Amino acid sequence: MNPIDQAGRGKRPYMSNRDLLVIAILSGMGGVMSTYIGYLANLLNTVLGVPFGAGQLLSGLHVFWLILAAGLVRKFGAASTAGLLKGCIEFLTGGTHGIVIIIVSLVQGLAIDLILFIFRRYTLPCMALAGGLAAFTNVFVFQILYFAGVGWAYIFIIAALAFVSGVILAGSFAYQVTNIIIQARPFQIDTQDQKFAPPNKNKKIGLWLTALFFLLFSSGAVYYFSQVFIPPWSQAQCTVEGSVENVLSFRLSDFRHQEVTIRAELKGQYMHVPEQEYTGVPVAAIIQEAAPIPGSKVLKVIAADGYMIEFVLDKILLDDKFLLIEEEDTMRLIAGNYDGSCWVRQVNKLLIE
């Protein structure tokens, strides 16, 4: 045999086709589901009455897929590769953070690979620490890119929430799922190396809890993608529903002749954007076209990710700094006379009650 051929046959790629397939599948699932997780986080923020921060309690679910990829592939770089691919998929499927999510997911994957490389073990403590650190990093990436000026005390509080979420919902949960998959043996995983802890064989309770979690999680996802989610490739469209005589489904181009330009400053509790010009359509003009039924008092502005905020209808009808503008193929609410938490992105419904 030719020595070159013999040498070539003896070389094995660092990651096998099976490894790449596992990473691709988990990244795809994670990228799509992260949009839904963002929806759950907004619901949690709404329930607790804060514009953001409480949703970090669910941040571990974003990292879960990267830890699971690392636990099944067990090669340095698996989590980073999964993070990069997951971020790209989340961006392309309409993630609320835009292209920045690619950086966030990549940094999370790098953090996981770093911890697992240092300890060289896939035990529960190692995977839990990796999940906690990965979830922890997203807070500081967003701080650097978006929330300059936010108090460090508040940043560390929400970072601590993210860390706990990463430990429980990413590291610990992924460890349990990894062991269940290894026991099922759908494919061969090298667990004989003493660097890796063998799977725990007494996992019946964990199996049932995992099955229940995925059932609830999947049921919610079906509702979200069938009833709430609007694909990013569809044109920006919004509806006016509820207590109105004319239910509207419109694009801002339908009201182009009523566009106005205002100057407004976003003054949020944790974010500030200096005064600048915004050109869009007054919400009052859109509502008047829908003709609210006498006695209607409330306007609810609802976003594609589930975020919702209420306004007094009579005040909005007189507000000349309350616009809908086009932004990144979606609609954004500019509420010049209100706090920054009222400036809603990805608006897709105006509900009058």
Task: Write out pLDDT tens, residues 139-149.
Answer: 878 777 665 55
Q: Which two three-digit tokens encode residue 321?
A: 């700094």
308-312 and 322-327 as β-strands: parallel, antiparallel, unpaired?
Answer: unpaired
Q: Which CATH architecture has domain 238-352?
A: Alpha-Beta Complex (3.90)
High-pLDDT (> 90) share of the chain, %: 28
- Report residue 68's pLDDT band, with 50, 70 and 90 as the boundaries: very high
Domain with CATH 3.90.420.10 in the chain: 238-352
What is the rounded average pLDDT for all residues in the chain? 80
Backbone angles phi, psi at 97, to 5 degrees: -95, 0
Closest by CA to 165, choosing from 86, 56, 50, 83, is 56
Maximal C-alpha separation, the chain: 90
pLDDT given at position 252: 86
What residues contact 287, with CB distance under 8 A and at least 6 apart?
240, 299, 313, 316, 317, 350, 352
- Looking at the DSSP assignment, which residues form a beta bridge with residue 303? 347
**pLDDT > 80? residue 76:** yes
- Report residue 85's pLDDT band, with 50, 70 and 90 as the boundaries: very high
pLDDT given at position 309: 86
Q: Under the phi-then-psi rule, with left for phi > 0, alpha for psi from -120 to 50, and beta for the rest, what region is 64?
A: alpha
Convert the pLDDT of each residue in 272-294 to its tens digit. 678 889 999 999 999 999 999 99
pLDDT given at position 80: 94
Entry pTM: 0.65
Q: H-type helices in 76-151, by residue range?
A: 78-92, 100-119, 124-145
